[in-house]
Amino acid sequence: MRTNSRAYSEIHSSHRRDHLGFSLVEVLIAIAIAVGFIFAIVAFQGNFKSLQNFASQKLQSQQDIDQTVQIMTTAIRSAGPSSIGSYPIESAGTSSFVFYSDINKDGLYERVRYFLGTSTIQEGITEPSGNPLSYVTSTEVITSEVNDIIPSTSTPLFSYYDANYTGTQLPMSYPLDVSKIRLVQFLFLADVNASSSPGPDFFSQMVDIRNLRSN
């Protein structure tokens, strides 16, 4: 009888050990699954945040360029005689445009030069100074307005149209007579967020010079 009790006790202890061992395995598996879920969630959140940042940066870059285009448009549209009486347009080329405009609204017309750098649209500003006034080009202040420009050998940055333009005519041919320019078009491709953007964005604007209108 005592032997049977001892056997029963041993069997019961064995069941308890087996039950405890199985529970421990379950706990370890549950912990492993939970840790896996945590890593997956963290990775997803990181990727999602990166996508959000990319979309936000791309949108912001597009907005910055749009604002720059509007600033350029306003400056060109307001072109007028320089503060020393020079014609509103100094020179016009495929990759540069030089004119006079009171961009800071101080009553004096600055010499404004938009031109294409290696991969940027640059702005050069020369303030009239001295007595009598003059434009000293060595004092020109140059800033980059649009970065990551994709230069094109077939499409010029600037094109020009005379008073006969109605929407379908070709640009004026070279050599240009700047006195006949009435409209300026600038267009370019910019690789917004070049490191991660899937492709370049196209920007274009047609500007009529208000002070040179003939009607």
Domain assignment present for residue 117? The answer is yes
pLDDT digits (tens, 9 = 90+) for 22-72: 576 666 777 777 777 776 665 555 554 554 444 444 444 778 888 889 999
173: in domain: yes
Tell me, yes or no, whether 146 lies in a domain.
yes
Give the pTM: 0.70
Residue 167: predicted pLDDT: 86
Instruction: Answer yes or no: is pLDDT of 172 > 70.
Output: yes
106 falls within a domain: yes
The CA distance from 114 to 90, in Å, is: 12
CA-based nearest residue to 72, from 42, 43, 99: 99
DSSP 8-state assignment for residue 149: B
Query: Residue 80 belongs to what domain range?
Result: 60-212
Number of domains within the chain: 1
User: Please, are residues 146 and 68 in contact by the beta-carbon 8 Å criterion?
Assistant: yes
Whether 67 is covered by a domain: the verdict is: yes
